[in-house]
Amino acid sequence: MWRSTLALSTVRVPARQTASFAPAFARSSLSATSRTFSGYTQTPRLISSACTISRQQPATQPQTRVSSQLRRKSDDAGAGSLRQWGFEDITSALPTDPNTPSPTHKPLILIDVREPAELTSTGIIPSALCIPLASQPDAFYLTPDEFETRFGFPKPEVAADGNIVFYCKAGVRARAAAQLAVQAGYEPEKLGVYDGSWLDWERRGGRTEKWEGYDW
């Protein structure tokens, strides 16, 4: 009888301990897990917010818009007053003898704004002056003395009844150079652009001469 009672007690004691320990362990595990999960659930929201803030900072867009507006205003300066010259206009204005003025047109000053290396390979329209736009963008802002010292010939001045016509390879640089001249103080009504420029002149068989100038 004593051994039976002792056996029952021995059996019941581990059962009580196991029963009381398992819920406690489960609650502890669940609580720790819950805390762990709850901690991680906040991290993606913080990262997402940081990413959203970084995407909402277009730092360069206002500057780009302002720069574009300034470029448009600069490009439009005097552009509407520039006369467009064609192949026939140029050929009829050029004298047969470079030393003799053309009897059919007012005095014309042709300005080639290509670089000297280009002129060496293609030649130049007779009587044209080379004032390269890319390497000498400040040319028309120079004083007459500074200009002649740099280029070796007088700064172009438009006569009362004359014109200055710019050309390049395809017309883009010629128009930009004419607009710079307007900004430097030349009268837009006295300036023109040969839009077809050298490509049109060469295609139509216009007269050319060898370039023998300097490479600035």
Alpha-carbon Rg of the chain, whole angstroms? 42
139 inside domain: yes
Predicted pLDDT of residue 39: 46
For 100, phi then psi, to 5°, come to -115, 125
137 inside domain: yes
- Domain total of the chain: 2
Place of tokens 């007459």: 144
Backbone CA torsion sign across 201, 204, 206, 208: positive
Residues 86 and 168 in one domain: yes
- Domain containing 12 equals 1-57
Best CA proximity match to 84, nearest among 200, 199, 193, 196: 193
27 inside domain: yes
Tokens of 148: 């002649």
pLDDT at 37 over 80: no
Average pLDDT over residues 66-85: 56
Rounded CA-CA distance 135/141 in Å is 14
Residues 44 and 134 in one domain: no
SS3 110: strand
Average pLDDT over residues 39-68: 43
**Residue pLDDT, tens place only, 97-128:** 655 554 445 689 999 999 999 999 999 999 99
Average pLDDT over residues 159-169: 92
Tokens of 22: 């398992």
Average pLDDT over residues 130-147: 97
38 inside domain: yes
Share of the chain above pLDDT 90, in %: 50
Average pLDDT over residues 173-191: 96
Place of tokens 């300036």: 191
